[in-house]
Structure 1
């Protein structure tokens, strides 16, 4: 299928071509035709599947087909969990609307109010916002939701995880005259998300778009086993110094772990930038700018801090700590191997991480390749832990044990007693012999 076959306006097709999009992705071919019919959408679309254009294009097509008659507030609202993701969507929306009359604006935290005045006071068609900051303007009666026709919730699962459900419910209620709602999430599992979607969507069309296997195969997944935390850091430091590791993101579980690892790296002469939750916007922007510009080639981040960021040309993702869930793992490694390029995900696994590693392998249906650094081989043979259960089962199958014979109770209950049948037969024979003698 081509973008032309989706019956998009020529001005949108021109922008699509300028962005370098050649053919629509799976989620785009599924969503765009149905969304253009006005139906509510509920879609599972992981990072890197092209979901942003999947909701922007039909939204823009609707506004081109039905232009506004007079100036007014936003006609479409897109809610996202993070500022970085909001800015990325804003950038793509402006690019797709480059040859149209549509105006795009954003409302996010950490930005001076003056820069957001167009979204609040002037005519604007599409607003991309984070729930917290938008709710502030709604409570101050500075944002008008009455003209919103299309509401999009991007990365809805992350918004729930980050505690935005109350704000999103209130914003949706403010936009109650809308004609269409689209919800996108990395996974559609979980009672919370299902209950949330039932309140917002009316008879939605559901789509599940996994990245094509050819795309997933572009990310090589490796495992290095480590005996201790010290051993793991030595392996990480060695791998970071390899020529093929050009730009990398290192994921850790907590802010405490991040502070510890950053200190270790800098103490070893390895410069890096870092992102953590509840970080001042100015410092976040500075860290991302240092990484994007190439001043540093290593970014250490927690999952919360890294949500929604899109960084180009990341050659490697390191899971210094394994994530708490398999879908978070997929989000992490999706930061590499983007835009058709190959990438590499390296997992540094201690004994307590083996269970999570196995769950990830079952979830992705892909086996991670085991690797070792010759001079840093694990001494306690931790890799055997991962296959212990399998080996045990194999041994049980191979062992040629004869099945234990089942002994019936009636055979053993008279064990040690006379054979009464034989005795009776002998007695009968004696009686018969006496009778014959007479």
Structure 2
């Protein structure tokens, strides 16, 4: 139970209100270090309770050291997208429901006047996206000097989205802070290690090893497609299957999203769509319609790959393959959450095969090739060019013993720690 972490009774009651029965592996590892006041660099898959892992120690700090005078936020949580910021805010409100902690939310896509109360009245914890918050700092409407704890959630995604300069500026404004927590679904790549070295002070490195219950049970496979028209037919066929109860379809461009929305609608497949240029109220309404079951298909660009909090997504379908392997992992993380079963299907043209190879290397998994009988690829060239010796390598990798897998994982963690210390 959460009582093992010496949390106040009000916060323990908040975990019950939020639906937590016992701490997840990431919470068990982050909470002790964070509550001891140490900087933390943590990696954990989506759907494993990462948000509560940093909200609870931040809230406990606010309770342990009560505010002595009105002022600006003492805890700042930065998130890459409006959707993720909103999700964090909602969970923070649940976890602190039995306390007097005041929590604010600042994101882009909403009227500037709606943030007036947060900027002019006392707020204890603020969840924000970097771009809009930096505007307020530049206009001298927000003072970051009172921040005691800075949290960066899904930091790798913020780097991908070009927020590194903004975050460094905000961190500079909050340079008197006592603690920094950096969390991410993946710590792959040298960029995130360099970034963390600039912001963290002798951090505790945490890599969650989810239990069998927490692990995402996502079945993954690909269908080979001749061209875009063939791919659209495959998508329609898949979405009409009875087992597809709630699906997210990913495309790389907003024009493709809009084309798919119209094409699916003409096939009596009701859907909503989500992309970066939509006003916030329309984005919220689209997600709401999927959540309440009005429609069961959401078509989205990668703006929805992080922070999209919709229960029981049975299928993620990549109409377009993502440009980077780690984004593939974030996309399919929308399904198979918290131990529930999920399915991820990618529709792949011949020119995508190099990307498939990168994804398989990154995930250390072989993506099964499947065929829809009535929509078989026409040409042999469209089939996957898998050589026998490569197949053997894949099978050998898939059959690693538990001991070998554990050793491989420990080696990766050791390498990351070494980079951080250097």
Q: TM exceeds 0.5?
A: yes
Alignment partners' CA distance in 2, 1:391 and 1:301: 34
d(CA) in 2 for partners of 1:340 and 1:347?
A: 21
- Greater RCO, CA 8 A, separation 6+: 2
- Indicate the residue corresponding to 1:294 in structure 2: 293
Q: Which residue of 2 aligns with 1:136?
A: 135
Corresponding residue SS for 1:70: coil
Structure 1 Cα separation of the partners of residues 225 and 363 of structure 2: 23
Please, which moves more after superposition, 144-153 or 383-392? 383-392
* Aligned equivalents of 2:335, 2:188: Cα separation in 1: 25
> 1:387 is paired with a residue of what secondary structure?
coil
Q: Report the counterpart of residue 308 of structure 2 in structure 1.
A: 309
Tell whether the 8 Å contact from 2:180 to 2:199 is kept in structure 1 after alignment.
yes
Structure 2 CA distance for partners of 1:30 and 1:224, relative to 1, 3 Å? same
Q: Displacement, 1:216? A: 4.2
Partner of 2:420: none
Deviations 1:183-235 (A, max 9, x none): 11222233332332222111111112254455445212122222332222212
What pairs with 1:403-422 in structure 2 (closer than 5 Å)? none
Contact conserved, 1:31 with 1:54, CA < 8 A, in 2? yes
TM-score for the superposition, normalised by structure 1: 0.84
* CA positional deviation for 1:78: 0.5
Give the Cα separation in 2 of the matches to 1:58 and 1:107: 21
Aligned-residue offset at 1:392: 9.4
Cα distance, 1:378–1:83 mapped onto 2, change above 3 Å: same
Check whether the contact 2:81–2:303 (CA below 8 A) recurs between aligned residues. no
Give the corresponding residue for 2:362: 363
1:118 aligns with 2:121: no
User: What is aligned with 2:181?
Assistant: 182
Structure 2: segments with no counterpart, 5+ residues: 394-422
What does the per-residue CA deviation read over 1:347-374, in whole Å, with 9 as the maximum and x for residues that have no partner? 2222222232233233223333333222
* Equivalent in the alignment of 1:227: 226
Counterpart of 1:260? Answer: 259
Superposition map of 1:60-71 within 5 A? 60-71=59-70
Aligned length: 393
**Highest Rg: 1 or 2?**
1
Instruction: Report the Cα distance in structure 2 between the residues aligned to 1:393 and 1:236, rounded to whole angstroms.
Output: 31
Classify 1:212/1:380 alpha carbon distance in 2 versus 1 (closer, same or farther; 3 Å). farther
Q: Please, which moves more after superposition, 377-386 or 29-38?
A: 377-386
Q: Distance in 2 between matches of 1:213 and 1:320?
A: 30
For residues 141-194 of structure 1, the C-alpha deviation after alignment (integer angstroms, 9 at most, x for no partner) is 221222111000111111122122222111111111110011112222333323
Native 8 Å contact 1:28 1:50 kept in 2: yes
Match of 1:403 in 2: none
Question: 1:44 and 1:348 mapped to 2: Cα distance?
Answer: 29
Give the aligned CA root-mean-square deviation in angstroms. Answer: 2.2
Check the 8 A contact 2:221/2:346 in 1, yes or no. yes
1:427 matched residue in structure 2: none
- Give, in angstroms, the shift of residue 73 of structure 1: 1.7
- Mapped partners of 2:94, 2:318: distance in 1: 33
Q: Partners in 1 of 2:372 and 2:187 — Cα distance?
A: 39
Q: For structure 1, which segment, 318-327 or 114-123, has the greater mean C-alpha deviation from structure 2 after superposition? A: 114-123
Report if aligned partners of 1:49, 1:210 keep a CA contact under 8 Å in 2: no
| Structure 1 CA distance for aligned equivalents of residues 343 and 391 of structure 2 | 32
Contact between 1:225 and 1:382, CA under 8 Å: does it hold in 2? no
Distance of aligned partners of 1:229 and 1:170 in 2 relative to their CA distance in 1, 3 Å threshold: same
Q: Is 237-246 or 283-292 further displaced after alignment?
A: 283-292
Could you say what secondary structure the match of 2:127 adopts? strand
Shift of the 304–389 alpha-carbon distance from structure 1 to 2, 3 Å rule, reads farther
Does the alignment pair 1:244 with 2:243? Answer: yes
Is residue 212–residue 339 contact of structure 2 (8 Å, CA) maintained in 1? no
Counterpart in 1 of 2:408?
Answer: none
**Mapped partners of 2:346, 2:23: distance in 1:** 32
Deviation at 1:76, TM superposition (A): 0.3
C-alpha deviation, 1:237, in angstroms:
0.8
Change (3 A) 1:393 1:198: closer
